[in-house]
Amino acid sequence: MKLGHKLSNATFFLLPAIILIAAFYILPLIVTTWISFTPLRDWKISQLTEFVELENYRALYKFVTTHPLGSLVLKTTIVFVVFTLIVNVLGGLLLAIATYVIEERVSLGFRLLWLIPRMTPLAVFGLIWYYFFYGSPQGTLNAFLLKLGLIDQPTFWGTDPNLLPWSAWSIIIFVNGLVGVSYGMIIFYSAFKSLPPELLIAAKVDGASTWQIVRHILIPMARWHLVFVTVWQLLSLVTSYTHLFVLVDWRIVDEWYGTTWALFVFTEAFGTVKNQGLAAAAAVILVIIGSLLGLLTLRIMRFDKITLEPKGDI
């Protein structure tokens, strides 16, 4: 086959994906970058051709460096991403190991249970936590703790200034972790399940305990999956805001201690402020940071090495 022929074949098969990526990713990216150089506010389309150079970026820099809320958004983002990532990856790994080790019938029910938060519609999920953390004595958590006698006054857990910032941060990490942890669980579990059973039998015969099998066989063999889940979850956590939006909008957590960079972009563009120019600049920064983080993680976890073709005569 000639090279030209090959290329046209490749183009044919890749075209649908290319069109989708172009329409829903490349194009919005260009438009967003464009907007970030305009003074667009309140969707006044006429402003789209007025250019303010780096004004939005300057304002953003000033907000982050001088405004107390700016640095808070940054801090919240870092805390949220780091801790939720740990919960999602390590929690997913633990759940996968647990469901792998226990009997299949029990395991299936257990895995389904952990999928419920992911399958629950956002509004319902939000409502559950609204009631759970609600500040009246009827709020689930308050009622529970009051009954146990651990507290004597009901508390607004996510907004009480005495408990901030970690109370709000804990809630956003907990709620997002509960949704995210099943992803890692599914991926790791299927990775374990695809291992040849002889490998585990061999390890047992060699004298490995369950913990040694996990440490020496399961985890090293699921290394690729670990890299994938870590990078994937990292990027989704950096950019996701829907659950946070509900938590903040319904005052389950404090507005500022629950706002990450991604949510800041959203509220800046579509909330009360409607400063789309500034929001676009923040979004562009987010894309750049996200890409760098993704590449960095792949580098740290030596993605190039584990995808290397094996050498030698087979």
Partner 1 sequence: MVSVQLVKVTKRFGSVVAVNNVDLEIPDGRFTALLGPSGSGKTTLLYLIAGIYRPTRGKILFDGKDVTNLKPNERNIGLVFQNYALYPHMKVYDNISFPLRLAKKPKSFIDKKVREIAAMLQIDHLLDRYPAQLSGGQQQRVALARALVKEPSVLLLDEPLSNLDAMLRLKIRSELKRLQKDLGITAIYVTHDQSEALAMADKVVVINNGVIQQEGDPHEVYRNPRNVFVASFIGSPPANIFPVKVDLVEEPCVILPGGKYCPKGILAERLKNLGKETVLFGFRPEDATLHEVPRHDGIIMEGEVYTIEPLGREVIVTLKVDGNLVKVIAPPTTTGRISQRVYINVPRDKAMLFDPDTEKNLRLIG
Contact footprint for partner 1 (CB under 8 A): 196, 198-199, 201-208, 212, 216-217, 220-221, 223, 310-314
Nearer Cβ to partner 1 (102/201): 201
Nearer Cβ to partner 1 (97/252): 97
CB of 183 to partner 1, least distance (A): 24
CB of 191 to partner 1, least distance (A): 13
Please check whether residue 223 is in contact with residue 306, taking contact to mean a CB–CB distance below 8 angstroms: yes
Nearer Cβ to partner 1 (225/243): 225
Nearer Cβ to partner 1 (51/224): 224
Nearer Cβ to partner 1 (4/312): 312
Nearer Cβ to partner 1 (11/212): 212
The Cα–Cα gap between 84 and 72 comes to 17
- Residue 44: phi and psi, rounded to 5, are -75, 100
Please check whether residue 47 is in contact with residue 39, taking contact to mean a CB–CB distance below 8 angstroms: yes
CB of 312 to partner 1, least distance (A): 3
Distance of CA 127 to the CA centre of its chain: 21
CB of 198 to partner 1, least distance (A): 4
The Cα–Cα gap between 189 and 105 comes to 15
Please check whether residue 244 is in contact with residue 172, taking contact to mean a CB–CB distance below 8 angstroms: yes
Q: Read off the tokens for 101.
A: 């080790």
- Residue burial 68-79, b: 16+ Cβ < 10 Å; e: rest: eebebbbebbeb
CB of 96 to partner 1, least distance (A): 18
Nearer Cβ to partner 1 (121/207): 207
Q: Read off the tokens for 226.
A: 């670990």
Q: C-alpha angle with apex 159: 158 to 165, nearest 5 degrees?
A: 75
Is it true that the peptide bond before 165 is cis, omega within 30 degrees of 0? Answer: yes
CB of 305 to partner 1, least distance (A): 12
- Residue 253: phi and psi, rounded to 5, are -125, 160
Q: Read off the tokens for 236.
A: 């989704």
The Cα–Cα gap between 142 and 131 comes to 10
